[in-house]
Structure 1
Amino acid sequence: MLYPELFKQLEAVRWNMDRDIPWDSFDAARLSEDQARTIKMNAITEWAALPATEMFLRDNRDDSDFSAFMSVWFFEEQKHSLVLMEYLRRFRPDLVPTEAELHEVRFDFDPAPVLETLMLHFCGEIRLNHWYRRAAQWHTEPVIKAIYQTLARDEARHGGAYLRYMKRAMTRFGDEARAAFAKVGVLMASARRTAQPLHPTNLHVNSQLFPRDTIQSRLPDPEWLEHWLDQQIQFDAVWENKVVERILHNMSLLMERSFASVQELNRFRKEMSAKLAAAACNPQAVV
């Protein structure tokens, strides 16, 4: 099992909201109205770990190890929402999300393939790590800068935990896992070609609720994410390339094969798909 080891690792570096956040360094003159409002939107977005956890537990009922790890991931992600709300409670109480606003992002996700979902959230952690690092640079108020730096480190560690479960999946499911991971990897590393940010909170997940079936679409300001990325933290091509490089680097380590570009990863995806198709046509050939 991976859960006991991951629990110890994450427990050893867990930060304390009272001791490790420099609340006394707050400088009201360095917090703009726009910056304060983005904190509210991020607090609500982080609350979406609740429906994501419900999805993971539902779809991984046969995997008690991964489901147990969700107890750690869920705790830490909800803590992200809580620390952002605590910041607002202390310094901008008028912007603290209401319980109704938080509950609005709790809805059922349609069942999805487990392997693809695992890879999707692994890539999501990489992307969020980079978004928060950029947000820490954009913000000018010292306390919220420190909070975003803290959250970014958590997201990186979560990505590493997901990677451990991906490695385990490859030992269990072989080429099926390789094909699933490559498929989602190509999608998530191709954000420059899409009209919207590629992150789990911005993907459609409930066909009956379409088009209000993304986390972002249920925020008080559904257009916030694009504005935050493009106009505020300015998550430009340089930063997007950092995300792509991390995805490709980790896929190279995972597959023990070098991927210098999305195109190379896509060729690998096609190779795995063809291999699975051939095995399906000739199951006796599978060793």
Structure 2
Amino acid sequence: MLYPELFRSLERVRWSLEDDIPWDRFDGSLLSDEQALTIKYNAITEWAALPATEMFLRDNRHDSDFSAFMSIWFFEEQKHSLVLMEYLRRFRPEFVPTEAELHAVRFEFDVAPPLETLMLHFCGEIRLNHWYRRASEWHTEPVIKAIYDTISRDEARHGGAYLKYMKRAIEQSGDEARSAFAKIGVLMASARRTQQALHPTNLHVNKALFPNDTVQSRLPEPGWLERWLDEQIRFDSDWEGKVADRILHNLSLLFERKFASAQELNRYRRELTRGVPGPAAELSAAA
């Protein structure tokens, strides 16, 4: 089981809401209403870990180990929402999300293949790590800079935990897992070609509710994410390239085959689809 090891490793680096956030360094002259509003929307987006956890538990009833890990992931993701709301409660209370605004992002996700969902959320953690690093750079107020830096490191650790479950999936399911991971990897490493921000909270997840079936569509201002990325934190092509590079780097390690681009990963995906034995398949067959 991976859960006991992950619990201990994440417990060792867990930060305290009261003791590890430099609340006494707040400088109100460095926080605009525009910035406070983006903090509110990020707090609501983080609250969407609630329906995501419900989805994971429903779709992974066969996997008690991964389901147990959800207790850690859910706790830490909800703490991200909480620390952002606590910041607003202390310093801009008029921007604290209402309970109704938080509840609006709790809705049922359609059933989806667990392996593809695992890969999607692995990529989502990488992307959030980079988004929050960029947000920390954009802000000038010291406390919120520290908060975004803190939660960005959590997201990186969560990505590492998902990667361990991906390695286990390959050991158990071989090319079925490789194919699922490569399929989603091609999509998420090609984000520079799309206008849509490719993150789980911005993807359609319930056909019956379309088009109001993304987390972002249920925020008070559904279009805020693109503005935050393009005009505020300026998550440009260089930053998007860093996300793609991290995805490709991790898949290269996972599949034991070098991918320098999404196109190379897509060729590998087609090999798997056709059943052509590449280096990864040969290694699996020899094991």
TM-score bracket, shorter-length normalisation: over 0.9
Match of 1:280 in 2: none
Match of 2:216 in 1: 216
Match of 2:249 in 1: 249
CA distance in 2, matches of 1:194, 1:237: 11
Match of 1:25 in 2: 25
Match of 2:114 in 1: 114
Match of 2:197 in 1: 197
Deviations 1:222-257 (A, max 9, x none): 010000000000000110000000000000000000
Match of 2:261 in 1: 261
Displacement of 1:147: 0.1
CA distance in 1, matches of 2:248, 2:196: 21
Alignment of 1:62-73 (within 5 A): 62-73=62-73
CA distance in 2, matches of 1:275, 1:91: 58
CA distance in 2, matches of 1:207, 1:79: 30
Secondary structure of the 2:107 match is coil
Displacement of 1:4: 0.2
Match of 2:234 in 1: 234
* Residue identity in the other structure for 1:30: L
CA distance in 2, matches of 1:34, 1:191: 27
Match of 2:176 in 1: 176
Match of 1:145 in 2: 145
Deviations 1:12-33 (A, max 9, x none): 0000000000000000000011
Which blocks of at least 5 consecutive residues in structure 1 are unaligned?
277-284
Displacement of 1:204: 0.1
Displacement of 1:210: 0.3
CA distance in 2, matches of 1:212, 1:154: 29
Deviations 1:54-74 (A, max 9, x none): 000000001000000000000
Alignment of 1:28-43 (within 5 A): 28-43=28-43
CA distance in 1, matches of 2:193, 2:209: 26
Secondary structure of the 1:154 match is helix
Match of 1:279 in 2: none
Match of 2:48 in 1: 48
CA distance in 1, matches of 2:22, 2:170: 42
Displacement of 1:117: 0.2
Deviations 1:205-234 (A, max 9, x none): 000000000000000010100000000000
Deviations 1:175-228 (A, max 9, x none): 000000000000001111112100000000000000000000000010100000
* Residue identity in the other structure for 1:217: S
What number of residue pairs does the alignment pair up?
278
Which blocks of at least 5 consecutive residues in structure 2 are unaligned?
277-284
Deviations 1:84-136 (A, max 9, x none): 00000000000100000000000000000000000000000000000000000
CA distance in 1, matches of 2:195, 2:113: 24
* 1:9 maps onto 2:9 in alignment: yes
Match of 2:155 in 1: 155
Secondary structure of the 1:62 match is coil
Secondary structure of the 1:166 match is helix
Secondary structure of the 1:105 match is coil
Match of 1:281 in 2: none
CA distance in 2, matches of 1:190, 1:93: 39
CA distance in 2, matches of 1:131, 1:60: 28
